[in-house]
Amino acid sequence: MAVRPILKFPDPLLRQETVKVTEITDDIRSLVQDLADTMFAANGAGIAAVQVGAPERIYLVDAAVAGGHEEDPPVVFINPEIAWLSDETETKDEGCLSFPAIFVPIKRSLRARVRAMDLKGQVFEMEGEGLFARALQHEGDHLTGRLLIDFVGPLKKELIKRKLKRDALEAQDSDRP
Ligand code: NI
């Protein structure tokens, strides 16, 4: 079990260019295990590799969010691509582990289908609705460096930046002996 630190905005690594996974190596398997541990520890619905500073195109979605049982392992999406998005949309508040305690209303397709590879190297497709579809779109955005803050206007952008800066300073203060 290895929980990795989650990068918080404005860490520039959240905008780094991501790379396709060409082979499922032991390093990839251990990255995925760490992502699962990190997501679980942070109580997240999903996590992208880029959020722990890894450039690989990988994200995980919580099993319950993906329509499975709570105790199942998270669903792993490697080199995911959106195969289809419904025209029907839904606007709901969305959070992100890289923006603690920040919620932004975002309009998303109500249903989404993603094609990806699993840890055995098998290609699969999965379709989701509501929160699952939202997670697929949100995590997919991470792989192109698109973040929550890109969906808001200039005023709210400033507020978010200020709040995260204040939180980071407070965290620094409380770390001091
Ligand atoms: Ni996120």
Q: For residue range 133-144, what is the model confidence (pLDDT) as tens digits?
A: 999 999 999 999
Asked if pLDDT for residue 64 goes beyond 70, the answer is yes
Judge whether 166 lies within some domain: yes
**For residues 18 and 55, what is the distance between their CA atoms, to the nearest angstrom?**
5
Judge whether 4 lies within some domain: no
**177 Cα to the center of ligand 1, angstroms:** 32
Judge whether 165 lies within some domain: yes
**For residues 119 and 23, what is the distance between their CA atoms, to the nearest angstrom?**
10
Interval 70-95 mean pLDDT: 97
User: Could you report the per-residue pLDDT of 16-53, keeping only the tens digit for each?
Assistant: 999 999 999 999 999 999 999 999 999 999 999 999 99
pTM above 0.85, yes or no: yes
Side chain identity at 160, as an amino acid letter? I
Judge whether 1 lies within some domain: no
The model's confidence at residue 173, banded by pLDDT at 50, 70 and 90, is confident
**For residues 22 and 19, what is the distance between their CA atoms, to the nearest angstrom?**
9
**5 Cα to the center of ligand 1, angstroms:** 14
Judge whether 7 lies within some domain: no
**For residues 166 and 47, what is the distance between their CA atoms, to the nearest angstrom?**
24
DSSP-assigned states of every residue in 138-173? HHHHHTTT--GGGGS-HHHHHHHHHHHHHHHHHHHH
Judge whether 171 lies within some domain: yes
**141 Cα to the center of ligand 1, angstroms:** 8
Q: Report angle CA 67, 70, 76 to the nearest 5 degrees.
A: 65
CATH number assigned to the domain comprising residue 93: 3.90.45.10
Judge whether 153 lies within some domain: yes
Which residues are placed with Cβ below 5 angstroms of ligand 1, an ion? 96
Q: Which helix (H) or strand (E) holds 84?
A: strand 75-85
The model's confidence at residue 175, banded by pLDDT at 50, 70 and 90, is confident
**3-state SS, residue 157:** helix
Model pLDDT, residue 172 = 84
**For residues 23 and 16, what is the distance between their CA atoms, to the nearest angstrom?**
21
Domain residues for 36? 12-175
Return the C-alpha torsion angle 123, 15, 38, 56, nearest 10.
30
Count of domains forming the chain: 1
Judge whether 19 lies within some domain: yes
* Residues carrying an active site annotation: 139
Q: Which helix (H) or strand (E) holds 91?
A: strand 89-96
Output the six-digit token pair for 87: 């025209």
Model pLDDT, residue 171 = 87
Average pLDDT of every residue of the chain: 96
**97 Cα to the center of ligand 1, angstroms:** 5
β-pair partners for 81:
115
Interval 109-114 mean pLDDT: 98
